[in-house]
Amino acid sequence: MLVEVLSSVFNLQIVFFIIVGVFTGICIGALPGLTATMGVALVLPLTFGMDAIPGILLLIGVYVGAIYGGSISAILLRTPGTPAAAATILDGYEFSKRGESGRALGISTVSSFVGGVVSVIALWLISPQLAKLALRFSAPEFFLLAIFGLSIIASISGNSLSKGVLCGALGITLSFIGIDSITGYPRFVFNNINLLSGMSFIPVMIGLFAMSQAFTTIETIFTPDQVTQKISKVWPSKSDWKVIMRQGPISGVIGTIIGIIPGAGAEIGAFVSYGQAKKTSRHPELFGTGIPEGIAAPEAGNNGVTGGALIPMLTMGVPGDAVAAILIGALTVQGLQPGPLLFTEHTTLVYSIFLGMFIANITVLVLGLSSLKLFVKVLSVPKSILTPMIFVLCVVGSYAINTNFFDVGVMLFFGIVGYFMQKADVSVSPAVLGLILGPMAESNFRRALLMSEGSYSIFFSSPIAWIFLLLTIVTLLGPTIGEMARKKRQS
């Protein structure tokens, strides 16, 4: 198998796609307003005609590159290219103010590489074991796993829990559309033949993540683009290397753990890593003044999320973040079902993804240290031209999946809905979690009851089921108990 994996990844075509993916990802990530999720959603249609391995690795390249690329504009323009780079601004821009933007970008590049590699190692070590465990799951366990995944919405929704739940439930509701998989009964189709096979979720995602973001960009379309500054001395100094090698692996592990939690993305990974570095530092007061730790921690943390997010996605079909959700769509288009069986039936693909992700991180390091000046030039691409082009890519991308204009309408509808949801401070990520986990929860719930002939005791019949039940209770009650404890301490 090792030979198969090596020969499938180390061929010119695959390495080319990874490099193209990373390059595209860095450009997308560097441009404020274009997120990693948007980038992966826009590139996804290009993979429909490809084989599974190059297609998935192209998308992973975009993902890894975009998460890193966000730091370029965060450091140079004080505007995060992607939300994942928001924490990098705190110290990164201070470097630029001192005229040391090259040094900051160098630290960011190497830290992103370290964090990414740590996450790939974790992906490599944890995923096969988790997949083995998941092979023992049957319908009740998968139902409870989906419920646990959905309960995460409660903890990631922050101040607007009810809005998060509403959005998650909206996603689940969309998954009901089409012929019921158990009884064959058509649900919510309203005599529309296009709805019989269900709501194609890729146009929904392109609408929610790419089109809505393009609409948001129009609000500032007539604001002049910021002037970028020149950079020099990108290669980190000896002292900076020491900081990166000390902080990078720790933040990489933190990012990986956060990535594993369904729904928690790179933004949270970066902020938690930054917080941890500050808390454990001997000089926490220096954070925010432009110190290397302030860049190394969030950058290793956000790239750490990339590998972590793929762990539940590949092993159980549960997305670690929004990009992982799109990757589920990409695998499904290729006729592959993410889950434990992927590890037994498509072993070469799985290990090619691991190896390809490792190469993607090396590409980030090489491109980041050698071509930063080129990526900085990308920042001068006017959004007045880029935004209409994104419109076209959204339209063509949603049309290409089924060569169906109905999907274009769906994409545009959800683009408009997503824009107004952002206006009303409703995060769209729970909708994606609901859209993917909803059918998993429903079908396994009903299958479990079929197995037990209607007895609900089947959901309490195995230790794994109990673990998921307890995890769900802790996730749901955790924030409330924490809040109560905080209030008690204050009073």
Partner 1 sequence: MKKANFVVSGIFAAFALAIIIIAKGYPPSNHGVPGPGMFPIIIAVLILVSALVLFIKTLKMPVTSDTKIDLKSRSILNVYISMGGLILYTALLPTIGFVTSTSVMLSLYIKWFSHRPWWKTILIAVLFTLGIYLLFGTVLNVPMRFGIIF
Task: Report which residue type is found at 241.
Answer: W
Nearest by Cα to 37 from 209, 285, 239: 209
Q: Closest distance between partner 1 and the C-beta of residue 489, in Å?
A: 23
Whose Cβ is closer to partner 1: residue 49's or residue 463's?
49
Percent helix, strand and coil across the chain, each to the nearest 5: 75, 0, 20
Among 10, 405, 460, 466, binds partner 1 (CB under 8 A): 405
Which range binds partner 1 by CB under 8 A, 31-39, 118-126, 331-339, 404-412?
404-412
Nearest by Cα to 33 from 276, 278, 211, 293: 211
Q: How many CB atoms lie within 10 A of CB 191?
A: 7
Which range binds partner 1 by CB under 8 A, 112-120, 238-246, 362-370, 421-429?
421-429
At CB < 8 A and 24+ separation, what contacts does 271-280 make? 271/86, 271/87, 271/298, 271/301, 272/301, 273/87, 273/297, 273/298, 273/300, 273/301, 273/302, 273/304, 274/87, 274/90, 274/298, 274/301, 276/250, 276/251, 277/247, 277/250, 277/251
Distance between CA atoms of residues 203 and 207, nearest Å: 6
Which range binds partner 1 by CB under 8 A, 23-31, 292-300, 304-312, 406-414?
406-414
Using CB under 8 A as the binding criterion, the count of chain residues that bind partner 1 stands at 61
Report helix, strand or coil for 178: strand
Cross-strand bridge partners of residue 178? 187
Whose Cβ is closer to partner 1: residue 241's or residue 399's?
399
Do the bridges between strand 186-187 and strand 178-179 make them parallel or antiparallel, or are there none, so unpaired?
Answer: antiparallel
Say if residues 212 and 432 touch (Cβ distance below 8 Å): no
Whose Cβ is closer to partner 1: residue 324's or residue 412's?
412
Among 291, 353, 395, 435, binds partner 1 (CB under 8 A): 395
Whose Cβ is closer to partner 1: residue 147's or residue 254's?
147
Question: Would you give the DSSP letter of residue 228?
Answer: P
Among 1, 385, 463, 490, binds partner 1 (CB under 8 A): 385
Residues 69-108 that bind partner 1 (CB under 8 A): none
Decide if residue 400 touches partner 1 (CB under 8 A).
Answer: yes
Among 104, 107, 412, 476, binds partner 1 (CB under 8 A): 412
Show the site string, 428-457: x = touches partner 1 by CB under 8 A, - = not. ----------x--xx--xx--xx--xxx--
Show the site string, 27-46: x = touches partner 1 by CB under 8 A, - = not. ------------------xx
Residue with token string 């689940």: 172
Q: Closest distance between partner 1 and the C-beta of residue 423, in Å?
A: 6
Q: Closest distance between partner 1 and the C-beta of residue 41, in Å?
A: 16
Show the site string, 161-200: x = touches partner 1 by CB under 8 A, - = not. -xx-xx--xx-xx--x---x-xx-x-xx------------
Residues 144-163 that bind partner 1 (CB under 8 A): 162-163
Decide if residue 387 touches partner 1 (CB under 8 A).
Answer: yes
Whose Cβ is closer to partner 1: residue 87's or residue 393's?
393
Residues 215-254 that bind partner 1 (CB under 8 A): 215-216, 218-222
Angle at the Cα of 326 from the Cα atoms of 323 and 330, rounded to 5 degrees: 135
Q: Closest distance between partner 1 and the C-beta of residue 39, in Å?
A: 17
Say if residues 357 and 64 touch (Cβ distance below 8 Å): yes
Whose Cβ is closer to partner 1: residue 23's or residue 215's?
215
Q: Closest distance between partner 1 and the C-beta of residue 186, in Å?
A: 9
Report helix, strand or coil for 187: strand
Q: Which helix (H) or strand (E) holds 467?
A: helix 463-490
Largest CA distance in the chain: 71
Whose Cβ is closer to partner 1: residue 252's or residue 418's?
418
Distance between CA atoms of residues 440 and 433, nearest Å: 11
Distance between CA atoms of residues 306 and 117, nearest Å: 10
Burial degree of 238 (CB within 10 A; 0-12, 13-18, 19+): exposed
> What is the contact surface with partner 1 in residues (CB under 8 A)?
45-46, 48-49, 162-163, 165-166, 169-170, 172-173, 176, 180, 182-183, 185, 187-188, 215-216, 218-222, 382-385, 387-389, 391-393, 395-396, 399-400, 403, 405, 408-409, 412, 416, 419, 423-426, 438, 441-442, 445-446, 449-450, 453-455
